[in-house]
Chains A and B, each alone.
Chain A
Amino acid sequence: MDHNRRIGFILKPFVFVLCLVPFAILVARVVNNDLGANPIEAMQDHFGEWGLRFILMMLAVTPLRKLTGRVWIARFRRMLGLFAFFYVAVHFIIWLWLDRELRLADIIEDIFERPFITIGMAALTLLIAMALTSTAAIRRRLGKAWQRLHNSIYLVGVLAVWHYWWQVKKDITEPLVYAIILSVLLGYRMWLRWQTSKTKQAS
């Protein structure tokens, strides 16, 4: 098998299954009644955290590719992005259904009056737009606009950490860790940009 096929037929399915592990863990905990005294909150937090982690993993693709020189890493970006969308979508559905119990008035009130929810909704909306336009055909059709839309994943990263930060009661340790990771990832890109503009000017 050549290199390309090895990635396509072996590595991709493997990573796909790996991405489902957090989901499987949660299902196992539900089945074993192992979610503690407040299972709904535990489920919602689990999916929110994994959504955020997948967003960060997606943002890590380009730095990893550049640093290791392994171009094939970029081929996992779409999968990671779709999993980010999947985990956030479940996070959102749990909120709609089990937390707000599909009460429309409560839902609307929260979206407009609770800033951390407003921010979460903005991030989710961008993720939906990206998920809907994630196929190669649409990408070709949209051209430059596609790239502009999908660059908003940086914004989604910022919104997601901000959302986490605002919803904690007092202890910001965990959102702080995510904020630092995000800053490193975004900082690296800014540095890259600055480097290329420098070399362009030089030539």
Chain B
Amino acid sequence: MIIRKPADIKPSEITSKDAYLNRRSFMQGGLAASGTILSGSALSAVVPQDRRGKLTGIRESEYSTSEAPNSYDDITTYNNYYEFGTGKADPYRYSQEFEPHPWTIEVSGDAEKTGSFHLEDFVKPHTLEERIYRLRCVEAWSMIVPWVGIPLADVLKQFQPLASAKYVQFETLVDKGRMPGQRSRVLRWPYVEGLTIAEAMNPLPILAVGLYGEVLPNQNGAPIRLVVPWKYGFKSIKGIVKIKFTSRRPRTSWETSAPHEYGFYANVNPEVSHPRWSQARERRIGSGSGGFSSIFSNTKQETLKFNGYGEQVAHLYDGLNLRKNF
């Protein structure tokens, strides 16, 4: 396989096995040269210790919310990742055996530079940032998640997209053996997501490789996933193996599967209901799991347009009818 570096791509450059293995252990050490395994018992036992490398050299970000993050347990045991099953606990249950290394990402389409890259090379040129973001699921629940990642725009710029690149398409790994949920045809595989180039170049989206200062757990999309905080969670595709610059709007998975319920844009919008439920309010996960009485005091909260990120992204949709383009 030809593995290129994003910085200077020569087709002749082939990674030797040694360098490759080196990189691998480097990744397992958690992208950090030190490779310290966290004394992370403070967090949880949900993810086995040997999969929990601490990340270092993480910068803070002005885009982080000051709201208190959800617990590591909530974030790692309650989410959707249909590649591992359709229940909310399935990703946690059925992703434990998943081995996300080695991992390559194929960049293709309308850009000056394209090719296959080791995850490590992909990430290395960038400084890791912690982004504490609100996450709003289309199912009307939400969390606060302390992601660690790299700005998507910085990554994409390196490939020098052409003027014809109007959209960026992402694809998740297809591997029935390792992703048991793919044995069911509940969605069409691979999972496909996409953004307009303007959305992708906004400073908010990141490619996340970590959570709570550690490597990203399998159930949350290891080793690398997208996070687009002003859109419903299903836009934030996990386990990315392909990125493609394209002039045509990607046919995304949920839109393909139920076009009257899920759109390409999928911006969080309290004014536009899902056909089967209202999006006006949301339940913040976690605030109700502190025992009996807290269940009854866990009231819902108002959903904010663009999930509260309107200041950064509303201008992207000037003149667009958000009711039609839901």
Mark A residues whose CB is within 8 Å of B.
30-31, 33, 35-41, 43, 98, 101, 106, 109-110, 113-116, 166-167, 169-171, 173
- In the docked arrangement, what's the CA distance between A170 and B89, Å? 16
Q: Are B77 and A37 in contact (CB under 8 A)?
A: yes
Q: Are B86 and A114 in contact (CB under 8 A)?
A: no
Q: Are A36 and B289 in contact (CB under 8 A)?
A: yes
Q: Are B289 and A39 in contact (CB under 8 A)?
A: yes
Closest approach, in angstroms, between the C-beta of A96 and any C-beta of chain B?
13
A30, closest chain B residue (CB): B292
B278 interface contact, C-beta 8 A: yes
- In the docked arrangement, what's the CA distance between A109 and B276, Å? 11
With beta carbons under 8 angstroms apart, the residue of B89, B258, B278, B298 that contacts A36 is: B89
B115 interface contact, C-beta 8 A: no
Interface centre among B77, B275, B280, B300 (most CB of A within 10 A): B300
For residue A101, which residues in chain B have a CB less than 8 angstroms away from its CB? 299-300
For residue B289, which residues in chain A have a CB less than 8 angstroms away from its CB? 33, 35-39
- The tally of CB-CB contacts under 8 A between chains A and B is 71
A169, closest chain B residue (CB): B139
Q: Are A38 and B88 in contact (CB under 8 A)?
A: yes
Q: Are B295 and A39 in contact (CB under 8 A)?
A: yes
B48 interface contact, C-beta 8 A: no
Chain B 177-194 interface mask (CB, 8 Å, partner A; 1/0): 000000010110000000
For residue A113, which residues in chain B have a CB less than 8 angstroms away from its CB? 273
- In the docked arrangement, what's the CA distance between A126 and B51, Å? 53
Q: Are A171 and B86 in contact (CB under 8 A)?
A: yes
With beta carbons under 8 angstroms apart, the residue of A35, A166, A171 that contacts B184 is: A171
For residue A38, which residues in chain B have a CB less than 8 angstroms away from its CB? 78, 88, 141, 283, 285, 288-289
Q: Are A114 and B186 in contact (CB under 8 A)?
A: no
For residue A170, which residues in chain B have a CB less than 8 angstroms away from its CB? 82, 86, 186-187, 257-258
B255 interface contact, C-beta 8 A: no
Q: Are A40 and B288 in contact (CB under 8 A)?
A: yes
